């Protein structure tokens, strides 16, 4: 019984962590169709914000907000300098964002060195419940993932800014003809997605080894989640993260992480083959 509960909690933890990493990608990759290979580095920059600011003993909440704002600004600059020239040029996007990814990673190595950096969780006491004990910081991450996802969806689907962004993505020229400054919407949308990646990195930092390679580990499952969930639907990320994250952690707990990887990729191939539009993809009439 305890074992099942523990596996369930671990699975939920991994799913929600994945969702946390996905949510920025949902906007940049899922909605704006930019294959941003530097997304992992945005995550990385968020984590290093924690490394840097914890030296000044700032409150953790302040650090999280700073990480979001800082990485959003980085995203804004990169959008203005590079991304805006390569919308709708898929291959160039991959090449350019890969270059950005390398440059950011090297910049971090120059500034902080290649080794892993210490970060401190703001709280770490395990919590006892239902006969098991579980890390309180993991529970905090799960809560944050839910809150951030819910907030993002509220912004996208319940605010006028979200409506405008979705309108621009659905029909750029028509939105422009209706009086929407599409350049400004692009800038803000990309910066928002980048900021979310930075926030995810900052939240995850105390649990991970903060080193220049940490962004890569989540990038592949995050892209996979969005493909499985359905690229066109922001809600698909929830489905995708559940399938990818859930199967990975459950199989890893029962067998081994290697078998888990095999199962996850096979599952992804089957889903994408049978439902090319993803789980949340709409059936065209």
Partner 1 sequence: MLSVRDLKAGYIHGAPVLKGLDLDLTRGDCIALMGRNGMGKTTFVKALMGVLPEIAGSIRFLDQEIVGLAPYQISNAGIAYVPQGREIFPDFTVEQNLTMGRIGKPKQQNESFDFIYEYFPILAERHKQLGGTMSGGQQQQLAIARALVGRPDLLLLDEPSEGIQPSIVQELAAILRRIVEQEEMTVIVVEQNLNLVRRLAHHVHFIENGLIKSGVAVDEINKDPAIISRYLSV
Contacts with partner 1, residue ranges (CB under 8 A) = 160, 163-164, 166-167, 170-171, 173-182
Nearer to partner 1, 55 or 173 (CB): 173
187 SS3 class: helix
Nearer to partner 1, 162 or 217 (CB): 162
Which is nearest to 218 in space by CA: 230, 203, 201, 206? Answer: 201
The torsion angle over the Cα atoms of residues 123, 212, 21 and 165, rounded to 10 degrees, is 120
Residue showing tokens 């990480």: 67
Nearer to partner 1, 150 or 158 (CB): 158
Shortest Å, Cβ 167 to partner 1: 5
Q: How far apart, in whole angstroms, are the C-alpha atoms of residue 121 and residue 148?
A: 19
What ranges in the chain are assigned the alpha helix state H? 2-25, 39-54, 60-81, 90-112, 136-158, 160-170, 172-177, 182-204, 214-229, 236-254, 257-274
106 SS3 class: helix
Nearer to partner 1, 94 or 180 (CB): 180
Which is nearest to 237 in space by CA: 139, 168, 143, 145? Answer: 145
Shortest Å, Cβ 184 to partner 1: 9
Shortest Å, Cβ 203 to partner 1: 31
Shortest Å, Cβ 175 to partner 1: 7
- Give the chain's length: 285
Shortest Å, Cβ 14 to partner 1: 32
Distances (CA, A) of 195 to 43, 138, 190, 278: 9, 21, 9, 26
Nearer to partner 1, 146 or 163 (CB): 163
Q: How far apart, in whole angstroms, are the C-alpha atoms of residue 121 and residue 58?
A: 13
Nearer to partner 1, 176 or 209 (CB): 176
Shortest Å, Cβ 80 to partner 1: 16
Nearer to partner 1, 49 or 164 (CB): 164
Shortest Å, Cβ 58 to partner 1: 38
């Amino acid at each position: 019984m305890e074992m099942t509960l523990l596996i369930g909690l671990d699975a939920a933890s991994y799913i929600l962590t994945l969702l946390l990493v996905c949510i920025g990608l949902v906007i940049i990759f899922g909605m704006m169709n930019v294959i941003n290979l530097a997304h992992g580095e945005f995550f990385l920059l968020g984590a290093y914000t924690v490394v840097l600011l914890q030296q000044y003993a700032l409150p953790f909440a302040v650090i999280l907000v700073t990480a979001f704002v800082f990485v959003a600004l980085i995203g804004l600059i990169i959008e203005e300098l590079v991304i805006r020239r390569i919308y709708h040029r898929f291959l160039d996007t991959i090449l350019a964002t890969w270059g950005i990814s390398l440059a950011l990673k090297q910049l971090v190595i120059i500034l902080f060195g290649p080794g892993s950096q210490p970060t401190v969780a703001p709280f770490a006491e395990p919590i006892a419940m239902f006969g098991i004990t579980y890390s309180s910081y993991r529970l905090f991450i799960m809560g944050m993932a839910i809150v951030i996802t819910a907030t993002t969806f509220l912004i996208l689907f319940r605010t006028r800014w979200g409506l405008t962004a979705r309108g621009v993505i659905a029909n750029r020229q028509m939105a422009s003809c209706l009086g929407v400054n599409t350049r400004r919407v692009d800038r803000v949308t990309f910066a928002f997605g980048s900021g979310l990646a930075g926030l995810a990195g900052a939240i995850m930092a105390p649990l991970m080894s903060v080193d220049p390679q940490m962004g890569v580990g989540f990038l592949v499952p995050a892209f996979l989640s969005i493909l499985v969930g359905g690229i066109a639907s922001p809600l698909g990320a929830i489905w995708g993260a559940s399938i990818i994250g859930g199967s990975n952690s459950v199989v890893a707990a029962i067998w081994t992480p290697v078998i888990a990887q095999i199962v996850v990729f096979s599952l992804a191939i089957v889903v994408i083959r049978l439902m090319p539009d993803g789980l949340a993809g709409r059936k065209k009439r």
